[in-house]
Amino acid sequence: MRVLHISPLYAQPVDTLPTREPMTGFYWVSCMRSELESQLPAIQAMLSQVGGTPLVDLHVSDLLNPTLPSNYDYTSVYDILVFRRLANAHLPPLNGSHESIASAAPSPVPPTPSAPPSHRPAHAQPQRDAPVLQRVETQPVGFALYDHVLLSVHPDDCFVQENFWQRLITGPGKGDGRQQSSKMPVEPADLMLRMVNGMVDGYLDLRRSLTRQIDHWQMALLKPNKRFSNWASVLDVRLALHQLDEICEDQRAAMQDWTEALEGWPPESTPARQHERELLRVRSRDVLEHIERVTHHIHRMEQSAETAVQMHFSAQSNRANDIMRTLTTVTAIFLPLNLIAGIFGMNFEFIPFVHKKDGFIWALVSMAIITVVLVAYFWRRRYLENNDQP
């Protein structure tokens, strides 16, 4: 368990649980789920002394539940927000800006090789059984938001807790345990929104990997001269995208509930506090906008995957139609030849040209003329045209 006193000028670790409200700033108490369960009486006593009331039993159960989806709840004294984050992601910078997406660390899903490069030989076989989308593992992070204390409950070995702890107590280019005031959260809700925004940006970082992996299977589905049979991987794509969509829907619902509750807070009396309240609204809308971007990208990838499957079956259908057209044309060419052969093969005693010396030659010449005429006719009608692109 870690306790951090965050003031407008610095962040200072505290060795023990606080017993009263701070003179300035607020307390951030972060613990693992197992620590909350083992030290629940001490934490409840701290919340009662600093926050004004302990957590109700239902909220304690929510914070201890490792399978709980993202959701928001509140009481007259505190708010509860549970937000699911990626299990092995890395966080972007602390300010949670849009520019942090490009500089964030790689996503937990390893990249899948896309289409072969242009210098690769045409006959070279692409990698088979390449993973499409590994199962997206998520873990809940719970927040209990009071006026002067923020309790965050993390899973074991949580990078969210470690990263924000180090960034708060260590300023850029400093090692004295202090940080610039412009970077400091001004209240518990501000710190909570920064952490949530960082977790959402982890989902945004999945876009590059997901796009590469979807492109890989689109190329495999649309490869003209190779039969596709790895339909289990395509099903995994759909399941993984549906899972991400459900996660984002829960996150969006939780943040919308939080935003609506924020609008209902009593108005602030001073201009400084009004400015801080407006910053909270801006950060809340920013988190919602990030979630919307993730959802929009997931829907676009679902449509791309579905379109690739439909185009695959359309291409296979067109290929089968071309084969049947060629076979039908060849059959039509040989039909008159078979007719001539059948007529002269009848067991009648008197058949024209049968007993003539040049009868066989005339039969062959007639068959050749009929064949040439039919081939020219069908070629002109494009029945024998090769539609495969080189």
Compare 359 and 370 and report the one with higher pLDDT: 370
Average pLDDT of span 161-183: 63
* Per-residue confidence (pLDDT) for residue 222, from 0 to 100: 74
For residue 93, pLDDT beyond 70: no
Average pLDDT of the residues in 38-48:
93
- Position 29 pLDDT exceeds 70: yes
Which range among 38-47, 254-263, 342-351 shows the weakest confidence by mean pLDDT?
A: 342-351
Instruction: Give the span between the Cα atoms of 370 and 373, in whole angstroms.
Output: 5
More confident residue, 369 or 268: 369
Q: Give pLDDT, residue 133.
A: 54
% of the chain at pLDDT higher than 90:
21
Domains in the chain, please, with CATH?
Answer: 2-113+128-176+183-316 (3.30.460.20), 321-380 (1.20.58.340)
For 99-156, how does the pLDDT look when each residue is reduced to its tens digit (9 = 90+)? 333 333 333 333 333 333 334 333 333 344 444 455 678 889 999 999 999 999 999 8
Give 161's pLDDT tier (boundaries 50, 70, 90): confident
What is the value of pTM for the model shown? 0.67
CA–CA gap between residue 285 and residue 276 (Å, rounded): 14
pLDDT at 134: 56
Average pLDDT over residues 296-311: 81
Asked if pLDDT for residue 178 goes beyond 60, the answer is: no
> Is the model more confident about 181 or about 263?
263
CA-CA-CA-CA dihedral for 277, 198, 162, 187, to nearest 10:
0
Residue 187 has pLDDT above 50, yes or no: yes
Whole-angstrom CA distances from 182 to 95, 171, 235, 380 are 10, 11, 48, 78
Q: Report how far apart, in Å, the C-alpha atoms of 310 and of each of 19, 22, 252, 316 are.
A: 64, 62, 31, 10
Q: Is 316 left (phi over 0), alpha (psi -120 to 50) or beta?
A: alpha
Is the pLDDT higher at 156 or at 240?
A: 156
In the predicted model, is pLDDT for residue 46 greater than 70? yes
199-221 pLDDT, tens digit per residue, is 888 887 777 777 777 777 777 77
**pLDDT for 277 beyond 50:** yes
- pLDDT for residue 238 is more than 90: no
pLDDT at residue 44, rounded to an integer: 93
Check whether 234 has a pLDDT greater than 90.
no
pLDDT confidence of residue 81:
94
Q: Measure the CA–CA gap between 89 and 108, rounded to whole angstroms.
A: 5
**Burial of 389 by CB count in 10 Å (0-12 exposed, 13-18 middle, 19+ buried)?**
exposed
- Residue 102 is predicted with a pLDDT of 31
pLDDT at position 115: 37
Predicted confidence at residue 171, as pLDDT, reads 52
The answer to whether residue 181 scores a pLDDT higher than 80 is no
Mean pLDDT within 170-194 = 66
The pLDDT of residue 389? 47
Q: Indicate the average pLDDT of the chain.
A: 78
Of 171 and 304, more confident: 304
pLDDT at 149: 94
The CA-CA-CA angle for residues 223, 296, 255, to 5°, reads 150
Write the Ramachandran bin of 189: left for phi over 0, alpha for psi from -120 to 50, otherwise beta.
alpha
